Amino acid sequence: MVPVTRCSVRLGRAMSDQLKILYQSKDVLVVDKNVDTKINSNDECANEVTVAKQLARNVPHLIDNTIEFGFRFAHRLDHATSGVLCIALNKTTAGTFQNCFSQRKIMKHYLALVHGHMEDRCLFIDVPIGRSSIHTDIYRMCVSTSPHCVQPVKRSTTVAVCLETGLYAGAPASKLLLIPLTGRTHQLRVHCCHIGHRIIGDYMYSDRTDTQPPRMMLHSYRIHVPVKPQPLDVTAPDYFVSAIDPSWQATQLFTTYKAFCDTFYNQGPNKSALNITDLNPKTVTVELEMS
């Protein structure tokens, strides 16, 4: 058996086969996806780094030649998003993940650095999302109130918690915990734009102007999946700290990630259920118009 390679992840663009494995069992492999890396690609360009290629180099004994790209990715992350990514190592586990996602039983937490200081400590964003019709060269989404939004428009909900405020490269910024309660394409990026706090380094949703940061500051931080016999609960490193990225300097702490989870998540058997009633967030909402 080929040993698993555990390499460090760099803050900048992924230009090599480096890949950090966060967890592995006979059923699941969880990796810390590098920033600016596609999960897989039909493009045969030999120089393009993808997670599938990184896995093939790091854990070749886990390749399944009966499926495309050799691995069953249990969910997706945007090209520019880093962090926790799960790979099912057999059909049964892949089916379990699919059922948990469809029943919205999976808890996913993201960290983000966004432009500006978010005044509200917590927001419940209930704003539908659809495809933008004016961007034909890229797959871009928008909120349903945009005049360019086309069907199908789907309800999209996100909880945004302000952990810290401070400065990024000398400009006001906030560190947010983002909890998607639905799983729409680009949901977190669109919702952050809608509340006036675009994610730092988001090239697409800044109309290709936010080019100074080394990456888009969105990171898949934690996932909790209620699989048996033991739930899968994996957390990635937090890269949005000044020790790793000196451009980020926190000046005010509102809550820590641990304190938030200890306070607002059920402490019984279903520890992944967010207690929104006690959270009492300010609501940002747009009604979903039925066609």
What integer pLDDT is reported at residue 173 of this predicted model?
Answer: 98
- Report which of 21, 33, 86 is spatially closest to residue 59, judged by C-alpha positions: 21
Q: What is the pLDDT of residue 7?
A: 33
pLDDT score for 138 = 78
Share of residues in the chain with pLDDT > 70 (%): 89
Which long-range contacts link 13-18 to residues 24+ away (Cβ below 8 Å)?
13/214, 13/215, 14/49, 15/49, 16/49, 17/49, 17/53, 17/54, 17/57, 17/58, 18/54
Of the candidates 22, 29, 11, 18, the residue with the CA atom closest to the CA atom of residue 82 = 11
Residue 6 has pLDDT above 90, yes or no: no
Give the percent of the chain with pLDDT over 90: 72
Contacts of 118 (CB under 8 A, 6+ apart): 160, 162, 165, 174, 176, 195, 197
78: annotated active-site residue: yes
Tell me the per-residue pLDDT of 123-161, one tens digit each, with 9 for 90 and over. 999 999 999 988 776 789 999 999 989 877 899 999 999
Question: Mean of the per-residue pLDDT values for the chain?
Answer: 89
Q: Which of 5-19, 187-201, 246-260 has the lowest mean pLDDT?
A: 5-19
Residues 163-210: pLDDT tens digits? 999 999 999 999 999 999 999 999 999 999 999 999 999 999 999 999
Among residues 32, 36, 78, 126, the one annotated as catalytic is: 78
How open is the CA angle 206-144-103, to the nearest 5 degrees? 100
If one counts every other C-beta atom within 10 angstroms of the C-beta of residue 2, the result is 10
The whole-model pTM stands at 0.90
